[in-house]
Amino acid sequence: MWRKILCLCLLLPLNAQARVWLGEVTHVSDGDTLWIKAGRGVAPRKVRLLGLDAPELCQPGGEASRAALQALVVNKPVQVNVNFQDTYGRDLARLQMDGRDVGAALVGAGHAWSSRWRGSPGPYAVQEALAKAARLGLFADPAALLPRDFRKRHGPCQTGRQAFKPG
């Protein structure tokens, strides 16, 4: 019995951090970062999709990943389930659109990897395995690099584009 109580106590802070809000996607920066406006007169918020890692824009598959996310969510209503904020001030969140998990859709179509952390294959490991087996999207290239490995090898992307400014 005491183990159940301890487990519940450990889970409570995690649930207390989660926030859920509704908004409309106004801009997609890359395959896992977008801007969502919560209502009229409210500035869009920068959101990083939790549970997946999309290729960098300058990496093979990066532009296709961004285009896939744009086609899926731009100018559409979404439910944002925020778990944390990262060091860049972005909300780290899972998105739902029409009852569908946006991250699962992206990974399942081969536009991103399931996030790996401390030996875990991540929340979308099944979708990634299916996309790899079908050689979808970036998984058509057996030498495709995880974004963190790409950055280690090539450094960050250097683009001439200006950053998106909400408003």
* Amino acid 61: pLDDT: 95
Looking at residue 166, its pLDDT comes to: 54
| Domain region containing 50 | 17-154
Of 47, 112, 120, 116, the closest CA to residue 79 belongs to 47
What's the total number of domains in the chain?
Answer: 1
> Would you say residue 162 lies in a domain?
no
In a domain, 118, yes or no: yes
**Alpha-carbon span 161 to 1, nearest angstrom:** 57
Q: What predicted TM-score, i.e. pTM, was given to this entire model? A: 0.83
Residue 124 domain flag: yes
More confident residue, 15 or 74: 74
Q: Is 51 left (phi over 0), alpha (psi -120 to 50) or beta?
A: left
Is pLDDT larger for residue 19 or for residue 13?
Answer: 19
- Does 142 fall in a domain? yes
Residues in CB range of 148: below 8 A, 6 or more apart: 53
- pLDDT by residue (tens digit) across 84-103? 998 888 899 999 999 999 99
pLDDT of 151 > 50? The answer is: yes
Digit-coded pLDDT (tens) for 17-73: 579 999 999 999 999 999 999 988 889 999 999 999 999 999 999 999 999 999 999
Q: What is the CATH number of the domain that holds 147?
A: 2.40.50.90
**DSSP letters of 36-102?**
EE-STT---EEEEETTEEPPPTTSTTHHHHHHHHHHHHBTSEEEEEEEEE-TTSPEEEEEEETTEEH
Residue 34 placed within a domain: yes
Question: d(Cα 16, Cα 88) in Å, to the nearest integer?
Answer: 22
Tokens of 38: 């919560």
